[in-house]
Amino acid sequence: MAAIRDDLTYAFGAGRLTPQRQTIAESARSLGRAFTIDDLAEEARYRDPSIGVATVYRAVSAMEATGWLERVGERAGSVLYAQCGAGDRHHHHLVCTSCGRVEPAECPLHDVAAHAATSGFVITNHEVTLYGLCPACLATGS
Amino acid sequence: MAAIRDDLTYAFGAGRLTPQRQTIAESARSLGRAFTIDDLAEEARYRDPSIGVATVYRAVSAMEATGWLERVGERAGSVLYAQCGAGDRHHHHLVCTSCGRVEPAECPLHDVAAHAATSGFVITNHEVTLYGLCPACLATGS
DNA sequence: TCCAAAGTGAGAACGATTATCACTTGGCTC
DNA sequence: GAGCCAAGTGATAATCGTTCTCACTTTGGA
Ligand SMILES: [Mn+2]
Ligand SMILES: [Mn+2]
Ligand SMILES: [Zn+2]
Ligand SMILES: [Zn+2]
């Protein structure tokens, strides 16, 4: 069963769930992998051609603010997003560099945080992203 | 003593060490913190106003290719670079979000790599960046 | 010295993202 | 249910970091 934040009704928090936003959120979920704004706009406009690109940008900003989407890297100058697959739990990401599949990864930074403390730095935030090949892409050799 | 890659003569590898490139590399080193292309260009053009912005971009690309510079994040839509402070050793970065100071950090990913292997992913690359406050910024409360 | 490749600088072009603005819509109050 | 108004929309222009182009200069080896 999915974590509560995976439910579409949480995508926009206190914001309105308009028909356009619903289409955009469903598009994001249906992609099932990391995507650029352009990827998402293409899918959303396939379902409803009247949706403007600016609306997709605004919807992504809103979904990122609630944590329903996360940025997981970049591709050719564009930000890569993925639906958060682990609810509220603190985690990071495995990103398949071939197909874009994304899987949550444990946070490995407890030791490093301790080390940093001895150097005088106080860590307030961190980013971890792993890139590689998912089982499917390994099997097909792509 | 600094690791060998910290020496300016390694900044451009097989490329030419022109006067402009020397000025740019010295500027990067003198900044002593994470910087954007714009920060670097400002410093370099202070020393030699005839240096064009395109030359700074090209020099940074070359220095990134040799590993003498690394990208350590972004700020307001621009890529953040820092001089690599740990030679050839595999490492990551502590970045002070207040003053931009950068310090090498150990790689904490051995456990995670093992975990990923059990999920079928094969990791080929990873990124880790820690953000926080350096001792100096903690002391001044900035 | 000569030459070909590498590098330079000015400016144009590019492309992702953001701002603007007139208009529409959703959800609340009465 | 009608009225209100903040929130959202879509087209388009603007922004801005980065890359490209091109004529020119410099470099370092033959
Ligand atoms: Mn996630
Ligand atoms: Mn480094
Ligand atoms: Zn894959
Ligand atoms: Zn600091």
Angstroms from B63 CA to nearest CA on chain A: 20
Angstroms from B47 CA to nearest CA on chain A: 31
Q: Residue B142 has what pLDDT?
A: 62
- Say yes or no to pLDDT of B1 above 70: no
Q: Could you say which of 2.30.30.90, 3.90.1200.10, 1.10.10.10, 2.40.50.140 is the CATH number of the domain covering B1-85?
A: 1.10.10.10
B45-51 contacts at long range (C-beta below 8 A, 24 or more positions apart): B47/B23, B48/B19, B48/B20, B48/B23, B51/B20, B51/B23, B51/B24
Q: Chain B residue closest to A73 (CA)?
A: B127
Nearest to A138 among B97, B122, B132 (CB): B122
Check A116 against B105: CB less than 8 A apart.
yes
Gap between the terminal Cα atoms of chain B? 31
- Say yes or no to pLDDT of B56 above 50: yes
Residue A131 has a CB neighbour count (10 Å cut-off) of 18
Q: How far is the CA of A68 from the C1' of C9 (A)?
A: 46
User: Taking CB atoms and an 8 Å cut-off, how many pairs form between chains A and B?
Assistant: 107
Question: If you ran DSSP here, which 8-state letter would residue B69 be given?
Answer: E
Residue A138 burial by Cβ neighbours in a 10 Å radius (0-12, 13-18, 19+): middle
B134 contacts chain A (CB < 8 A) = yes
Q: How far is the CA of A121 from the C1' of C1 (A)?
A: 59
Please report residues of B whose CB lies closer than 8 A to that of A90: none
The sign of the CA dihedral B115, B116, B122, B125 is negative
Mean pLDDT in chain B? 84
Probe site for chain A from B130, B133, B137 (most A CB atoms < 10 A) = B130
- Say yes or no to pLDDT of A60 above 80: yes
Nearest to A121 among B121, B123, B132 (CB): B132
Indicate where chain A has its CATH 3.30.1490.190 domain(s). 89-142
Check B131 against A125: CB less than 8 A apart.
yes
Condensed to tens digits (0 to 9), the pLDDT of residues A62-107 reads: 999 999 999 988 889 999 999 988 777 878 788 877 777 887 877 7
Apex B25 CA angle, B69 and B50, nearest 5: 130
**CB-facing half-sphere around the CA of B91: CA atoms within 13 A:** 15
A27-41, A82-96, A115-129, B13-27: segment of lowest average pLDDT: A115-129
Residues 60-119 on A with a CB inside 8 Å of B are 94, 96-97, 103, 105-106, 108-109, 111-113, 115-116, 119
Interval B2-24 mean pLDDT? 83
Angstroms from B118 CA to nearest CA on chain A: 10
Spell A34-55 as b/e; 16+ CB within 10 A means b: bbbbebbbebbbeeeeebeeeb
Nearest to A94 among B105, B116, B133 (CB): B116
Mean pLDDT in chain A? 84
Q: How far is the CA of B15 from the C1' of C3 (A)?
A: 19
Could you tell me which CATH class the domain B89-142 is placed in? Answer: alpha beta
Indicate where chain A has its CATH 1.10.10.10 domain(s). 1-85
- Could you check: is the Cβ of residue A65 within 7 Å of any atom of nucleic acid strand C? no
